[in-house]
Amino acid sequence: MINLIFLLLTGSILAYVSKYNLDLVTVNLGKYTITDVPLFYVIIGSLLLGLVISFLMQLFRNISNSFALRSNKKAIKSGQDEVLELTKRVHQLELENEKIKNGTTMEVIDTNAL
């Protein structure tokens, strides 16, 4: 529904602009010259070209951010793996510490170990 309202509003604005900008102009594009182009077409063409350029710039920015996030996710994953390994090592050292403290030579098996 909001899209329909937006399209109707945009169409109304374009119709109003086209009503008062029908003068014929000459457009120079480098070596090429296009004559007798309604000013309305120049205005709408400029608007559309600006929208396309801004869309492409935003697309490139999004792709760049995607690659940055992917590398950060890999770094976080490797950090989490390192934390897990260090937690396992700390748990093993705690078990050895208890074994030394109690003076037992029997191997302690912890069923809740990582």
Counting as low any pLDDT under 70, the low residues of the chain are: 104-114
Q: In which element (H, E) is residue 47 found?
A: helix 39-102
pLDDT digits (tens, 9 = 90+) for 89-112: 998 888 888 888 887 666 656 666
Structural domain boundaries of the chain? Answer: 22-102
What is residue 59's predicted lDDT score, i.e. its pLDDT? 96
What is residue 108's predicted lDDT score, i.e. its pLDDT? 55
What is residue 103's predicted lDDT score, i.e. its pLDDT? 77
What is residue 32's predicted lDDT score, i.e. its pLDDT? 92
Q: Do 38 and 16 meet the contact criterion of CB atoms below 8 Å apart? A: no
